[in-house]
Structure 1
Amino acid sequence: MDEPKVSVVVPMYNDSRTIDLCLASVSTQTYPAHEIIVVDDASTDDSAVRAARHSCTLVRAERNGGPGAARNLGVRHAKGDIVFFIDADMIMYPDAIGNAVTLLSGPRGYGAVFGVPDKVPLFVEGPVGQYRILQYHYWRVSAQGEVSGGFYALGAVTRAAFDAAGWFNPALRQTEEIDHAERLSRRYPMLLTARVSGRLSDESHLIPLLRKAFRRARLRVPFYLRRGRAMQGMETGGRAAAAVLALLTMLSLPAAVGYPPVLVGTALLLAAFVAVDAGQYAFVRRERSWPFLVFFTTVHLLVNATVSGGLAVGVLTWLTSRQFRHMYERTAP
């Protein structure tokens, strides 16, 4: 039987800092890609000029449509049996495509294989960037196995599975991945594995990170309520409890200022917040110093409290907006 042909699809928007590294990593795979398709999502920097210097097909979107629309456009041009998605702010390790092909060709019949970014970032990061990379890595590496959520920043999907699931919904700018993976997982098993890996450049500033966490949490509410259960893999009961505990911890602080004995309750809430995901903090301590662990815990507390706030606002929006309630029921063109 002929070896599967792999089409690599790279959605790109203002990624001039990383696109050369990304495409170089794709071009040096031990299992060569049949084609590399870069979708320029109406970038305003010189990303497209840089991409055009590489051996790839450059497709330009007429207007910025977001990751889902860019991936759809790339798939429309793809001719491979497998579509390997990688975001332009990532690199893949040399065996990433080969390992993905091996897993997708195995007896389990996986429809998709999603990778785990390394704990080592693509660039030297500041403290917030280090927090994000370590948290991102640990949550995924600890969830390895069959999953129902998708991570299309580094993942391969068989064309048959993609066609069965349908296109990404371009109306979903922040949650298009969970929507598509949910449809795909109804038809095919999906695997999350560190055998497919690379390095990531992620958000390195606190306010944009919190803004993104709030927005994504709010937009997931209709998905969760419609689905009726958490996604298999990273979304554990302990992590759901951590979000609630983080919000309660933050809300207790103003009371503790006026009445210091409340600090005992605050300390107990914080201890419970750490305990429900203790493995994560043990991992961070092994990788970094005690002072950084304190910083990591503080940022993670803020992120989780923000997530709870986003979920609360999402529930209120769900109760008052019919359009919001049904946003995941729209079909993509």
Structure 2
Amino acid sequence: MRPTLKISIIIPVYQGGIAFAQCLDSLHRYGSLAYEVIIVIVGPDDRSAVLAARDGHRVIQLIHNAGPAKARNVGAQAAVGDILFFLDADVALSLETLAQIQNGFERSQWDAVIGSYDDQPGSPNFLSQYKNLLHHYTHQRARTNASTFWGACGAIRRSVFWQAGGFDERYRHPSIEDIELGYRLTRLGYCIALNKQMQVKHLKHWGIRSLLKADFFYRALPWTRLIWRDRSLVNDLNLDTTSRLSVISVYAMVGLAALSLWWTPFLLGAIAFGLALITLNASVYRFFWGKRGLSFAVRVIPWHWLYYAYSGLAFMIGTSQYWVFHPRTPRSPAQIQPLSPPRVEFATASLRDADR
């Protein structure tokens, strides 16, 4: 019988609060599986350090905040497990998560696996429910043979992580560093699975400003540049055909509505594209109706259309930026070198400054 694979859970945290405490609480339920927990704290954050050390986890504190990509790489260099499981600090595990990871790697040829948010987001406000449920819907309908990685709940064989080069540390904010790693893994021929049953709870509170800033500046813009860099527009997740047609329909609807101020018949065209949007996304709105009721689904529609509008705008801006400034974008996968294996003495440190 093959020996049980050991899991190293790596959690980067920046100014962790109640959500981080809940994340740690979700780890208390595990005792039978072989795993270690490595908390990488970025920047001065005494509260997170106390919470992590209280539970006996290995803690690494970086002096400066260089972003989650750097923090995850540092945690990976400290890990001794066969499987590196990256978990965000505002995510709570389910009772089955670690077993799903361990059994999946032991019984399959996975090189990496990602999961999904569940359908019970932790924050009760409308935007948090909408955003996290939309993420759940997107992952539940996506292909099981994935082309991206996911840092919020994603596991990868340690040897594969080293060979791929780890996360690109030039992403200095929570951005698409996980998507970029997934593209590299795919280019190198590795298999990334999407396990739709591997669901975790997202505890993050989304407000208007935080949602728009994250979606536009830290996701849509850099993802556009990545698409052009790798010439990879995969028909999956947020890039599927329905999403592309919806972006076109939103702009056509708005444009015709504006033109109708000069010539009223254009309004009929705007209405037609509005109906097309509802038809294209009927399954999304039925999903929200089933989960949260009709009034919630109706409130979702303008936010969903706004999402398509700013995603399209980001694609246009990102495309222009790429072709004007493309030497400044992250390097192609072939130029990122494999990471060196970690030193055991570094991995056994309980609290250490690895900001170097």
TM-score range, shorter chain: over 0.9
1:217 is aligned to 2:220: yes
Is 1:47 aligned to 2:48, yes or no? yes
Name 1:111's counterpart in structure 2: 111
Distance in 1, matches of 2:270 and 2:153, equals: 39
Question: Match for 1:195 among 194, 197, 210?
Answer: 197
Does the aligned pair in 2 maintain the 1:222–1:327 contact within 8 Å? no
Change (3 A) 1:205 1:248: farther
The answer on whether the counterparts of 2:104 and 2:110 sit within 8 Å (CA) in structure 1 is: yes
Match of 2:91 in 1: 90
Q: Does the residue aligned with 1:321 lie in a helix, a strand or coil?
A: helix
Q: How far 1:243 sits from its partner (Å)?
A: 2.2
What is the Cα deviation at residue 218 of structure 1? Answer: 1.5
Q: Which moved more, 1:126-135 or 1:317-326?
A: 317-326
- Code of the residue aligned with 2:246 in structure 1: it is A
Q: Which runs of 4+ in 1 moved over 6 A?
A: none
Structure 2 distance, partners of 1:92, 1:68, is 21
**Counterparts of 2:62 and 2:261, CA distance in 1:** 53
> Is this contact kept in 2: 1:31–1:95, CA < 8 A?
no
1:17-56 matches, cutoff 5 A = 17-29=18-30, 31-44=32-45, 46-56=47-57
Q: What is the match of residue 142 of structure 1?
A: 141
Distance 1:176 1:323, change over 3 A: same
2:162, 2:136 → 1: CA distance?
29
How far does residue 34 in structure 1 lie from its aligned partner after superposition? 2.2
> Which residue of the partner structure matches residue 275 of structure 2?
271
Q: Within 2, Cα distance between the matches of 1:298 and 1:12?
A: 33
- 1:49 positional shift: 2.3
- Name the CA shift for 1:31/1:192 in 2 (closer, same or farther; >3 Å): farther
CA contact (8 A) 2:228 2:322 kept: no
User: Does the CA contact (< 8 Å) of 1:30 and 1:98 recur in 2?
Assistant: no
Equivalent-residue separation in structure 2 for 1:169 and 1:266 (angstroms): 43
For 1:194-243, what per-residue CA distance to the aligned partner results, in whole angstroms no more than 9, with x for missing partners? 22111002352123212222222111222112322323631311112222
Partner of 1:236: 240
What residue number does 2:351 align with? Answer: none
Note the alpha carbon deviations across 1:254-277, whole angstroms, 9 max, x for none: 334555443322222122223223
**Paired residues, number:** 331
Contact residue 5 and residue 34 of structure 2 kept, 8 A: no
Compute the displacement of 1:252 (Å).
3.8
Change (3 A) 1:26 1:233: farther
Higher relative contact order (CA 8 A, sep 6+): 2
Distance 1:232 1:26 in 2: 35
Match of 2:347 in 1: none
Corresponding letter in the other structure for 1:152? G
Please give the alpha-carbon distance, in whole angstroms, between the structure 1 residues aligned to 2:330 and 2:71. Answer: 23
Tell me if the contact between 2:256 and 2:270 (Cα under 8 Å) persists in the aligned partners.
yes
Amino acid at match of 2:153: L
Alignment deviations for residues 277-307 of structure 1 (CA, whole Å, 9 cap, x no partner) = 3221111111122221121111011111001
SS of corresponding position for 1:105: helix
In 2, distance between residues paired with 1:229 and 1:309? 19
Q: Which amino acid counterpart does residue 248 of structure 1 have in structure 2?
A: A
Aligned to 1:126: 125
Which TM-score applies when normalising by structure 1?
0.92
Determine the structure 2 residue equivalent to 1:9: 10
In the aligned structure 2, how far is the partner of 1:13 from the partner of 1:88? Answer: 8
Structure 1: 5+ residue stretches without partners: none
**Per-residue deviation, residues 169-195 of structure 1 (Å, max 9, x unmatched):** 111231211111112223321111122
Aligned-residue sequence identity (percent) comes to 24
Question: Per-residue CA shift, 1:86-118, capped at 9, x if unaligned?
Answer: 1000001011011111111224x1111111110
**CA shift in 2, pair 1:64/1:253, >3 Å:** farther
Counterpart-to-counterpart distance in 2, 1:148 and 1:76: 24
Does the residue aligned with 2:107 lie in a helix, a strand or coil?
A: coil
